[in-house]
Amino acid sequence: MSSSTKNEISFILNELGEEREMYFNAISPPIIQTSNFAFKKVDDLRKAFEDESECHKNTGYLYSRGMNPTVEILRKKLAALDGAEDCLVFNSGAAAIFAGVFANVKAGDHIVSVKAPYTWAQRLFEVILPKFGIETTYIDGTKIENWENATRKNTVMYYLESPNSWDFAMQDLKVVAHLAKEKNILTFIDNSYCTPLYQPVIEMGIDLAMQTATKYISGHSDTMGGVLSGSAAMIKKIFQSEYLNIGSGIQPFNAWLLIRGLRTLPTRLDRITKTTELVFHYLKKHSKIEKVIFPFDADFAQYELAKKQMSGACGLMTFILKTKKLEDIVGFCESLQHIMMAVSWGGHESLIIPKCAGMKIDEFNADNIEHRYIRLYVGLEEADYLIEDFEHAFNAIP
């Protein structure tokens, strides 16, 4: 990342969107905790009804299901970080996925998606969209010819997630975006692992970029949120239908927490990147470990691509113990004393989650390596603190 870009990020996180003279020059913005806003003129109210997406710039805010001043500050910062014309901030990442996909498909359409995307994207493709006659084909997105081959006359969207948050499978973003443009197909990516700081996907030609704000942007495991960035026209279209209709926009207090989280986002990512590196090397050479999956490992299958399109990799990795026994995997996870067992990631606290927790005990098949996956998220603790904890848990298993 060039230093001018870094300066730009400092400006975005500390100043952009903050009109402090409007609120007593307070450094921290106010939480405008209101549902509605008053008008003095019928004509102004009429204009606000006519275009709710722009009214705050002209006649004033209307209703917080649409626009709210605290949320506006966050929107400006997140759109700028993504290098996008505009963005919307939702109450969760799942809501952002739902709105972004739903707004761009109609009955009879077809989607090509990477296999095993985030769970709630899968549910959308497998449970909800089929009710409206929309089909999805899953492909191994690592090979460009698979995108081409799965494309039909009625394909309207390529759904990407790069890297995947369990096995880190990646897509060559510029190449897929190029192919999609040739075929007039919309590209939608889940960019949650990298954030735009490590992977500026809009710049790479992707049309619609989603990231969960619950993870790295919040950074403190205390709020949820989701971001959808794209062209002004696309964001306006989604605002006027799905965003207002589902009513899944972020609440002012949660937006305020995300603004606070953003202040330290680059600092936290830097710190986590350094700690991850140390923990990765410790795990990789451990005698009880069979394999560690991490995109910036020179042994990773798509290492070249990772280095080409990501300026960093941090936090998440997946490892597999040599033992094939379920009871050992369980024993290992339950022996950790500081690293907690929980879903999610991106907060201050290191976390672990074993894949086997997501299946019934009799479904566990030790010969399927994926069933033995243990995903680690490295938080803000000292590397030695985490390594000592691992040492203890390794000693608890044969």
Ligand X SMILES: *Cc1c(COP(=O)(O)O)cnc(C)c1O
Single out the residue of 68, 92, 229, 309 in contact with ligand X (rule: CB under 6 A): 92
Q: Which helix (H) or strand (E) holds 71?
A: helix 69-82
Minimum Å gap between C-beta 267 and ligand X is 21
Rounded Cα distance between 4 and 132, Å, is 47
What lies within 8 Å, CB to CB, of 98 at 6+ separation is: 120, 124, 242, 246, 248
Minimum Å gap between C-beta 56 and ligand X is 25
223 scored as a contact of ligand X (CB under 6 A): no
376 scored as a contact of ligand X (CB under 6 A): no
Single out the segment in contact with ligand X by CB under 6 A; choices: 10-18, 151-159, 175-183, 212-220: 212-220
In the complex with ligand X, the residue whose CB is nearer, 120 or 364, is 120
Minimum Å gap between C-beta 224 and ligand X is 5
Minimum Å gap between C-beta 91 and ligand X is 8
Both structure tokens of 374: 């243990």
Size of site (CB under 6 A) for ligand X: 12
165 scored as a contact of ligand X (CB under 6 A): yes
Sort strands 186-190 and 155-161 into parallel, antiparallel or unpaired. parallel
User: Cβ distance 374 to 275 under 8 Å?
Assistant: no
Single out the segment in contact with ligand X by CB under 6 A; choices: 15-23, 86-94, 149-157, 331-339: 86-94
Minimum Å gap between C-beta 92 and ligand X is 3
**What angle is formed at CA 51 by the lines to CA 50 and CA 57, rounded to 5 degrees?**
125
Strand partners, 352: 341, 376
Single out the residue of 89, 94, 189, 329 in contact with ligand X (rule: CB under 6 A): 94
Single out the residue of 59, 64, 192, 302 in contact with ligand X (rule: CB under 6 A): 192
Q: How far is CA 305 from the centre of its chain?
A: 20
191 scored as a contact of ligand X (CB under 6 A): no
Minimum Å gap between C-beta 96 and ligand X is 8
CA distances to 18, 61, 169, 272, 302 from 299, rounded to whole Å, are 45, 53, 14, 21, 8
Q: Which helix (H) or strand (E) holds 327?
A: helix 326-335
Minimum Å gap between C-beta 228 and ligand X is 12
212 scored as a contact of ligand X (CB under 6 A): yes
Single out the segment in contact with ligand X by CB under 6 A; choices: 88-96, 150-158, 171-179, 358-366: 88-96
Minimum Å gap between C-beta 119 and ligand X is 8
Considering only residues 101-120, where is the footprint of ligand X by CB under 6 A? 118
Report which of 227, 211, 218 is spatially closest to residue 257, judged by C-alpha positions: 218
Minimum Å gap between C-beta 161 and ligand X is 6
226 scored as a contact of ligand X (CB under 6 A): yes
**Residue whose token pair is 């798509």:** 302
SS3 of 243-302: the string is HHHHHCECCHHHHHHHHHHHHCHHHHHHHHHHHHHHHHHHHHCCCCEEEEECCCCCCCCC
Question: What residue is closest to ligand X based on CB?
Answer: 93
From residue 19 to residue 58, what is the string marking binding to ligand X with x (rule CB under 6 A)?
A: ----------------------------------------
How many C-beta atoms lie closer than 10 Å to residue 123's C-beta?
Answer: 14
Binding site for ligand X (CB under 6 A): 92-94, 118, 165, 190, 192, 212, 214-215, 224, 226
